[in-house]
Amino acid sequence: MRRAERLFQIIQILRANRSAVTGRRLADELGISLRLLYRDMAELVAQQVPVRGEAGTGYVLEDGYDLPPLMLTADELEAAMLGAAWVAKRGNTALAQGARDLIAKIVQVAPASLRPALLDETLKPISLKPVTP
């Protein structure tokens, strides 16, 4: 994993946790050494990311910090497309339109290599109940 990806993952892990996350847990989740994690944390602080860390307690991302995710993984894109397709077919009028708009936006900004898979007509949510109008 490249350094930029690791830094982004650290932010995502901290963002997902309300309480402090230990350095050991972060290092284990990222599959890196504790020493490399400390260097990455120092880099985040140098880039003015508001990360607080205390020995024995762990690291916390301060409230109010917002770094929008730059790109979704292929699995995240597929999950979003399946969910949006389900809502587009079964949601109320406003939600269905919102889901169709979301699908169009996702396809537009997705990497070209993923677009064919996203537009694949066989990628549809499974319905366990018949749809009634």
Rounded percentage of the chain residues whose pLDDT exceeds 70: 87
Quickly name the fold that domain 3-61 has.
Answer: Arc Repressor Mutant, subunit A (1.10.10)
d(CA 103, CA 118): 9
For the segment 38-51, what is each residue's pLDDT rounded down to a tens digit? 999 999 999 888 99
Lowest mean pLDDT among 7-11, 32-36, 110-114: 110-114
Residue 82 tokens read as 């399946």
* Residues in contact with 89: Cβ distance below 8 Å, sequence separation at least 6, in sequence order: 96, 125, 127, 131
Domain boundaries, the chain: 3-61, 74-118
For the segment 62-113, what is each residue's pLDDT rounded down to a tens digit? 887 765 655 677 788 888 888 998 998 888 898 999 998 988 888 887 777 7
Q: What is the pLDDT of residue 126?
A: 58
d(CA 11, CA 60): 9
Torsional class of 89: left (φ above 0), alpha (ψ -120 to 50), beta (otherwise): alpha
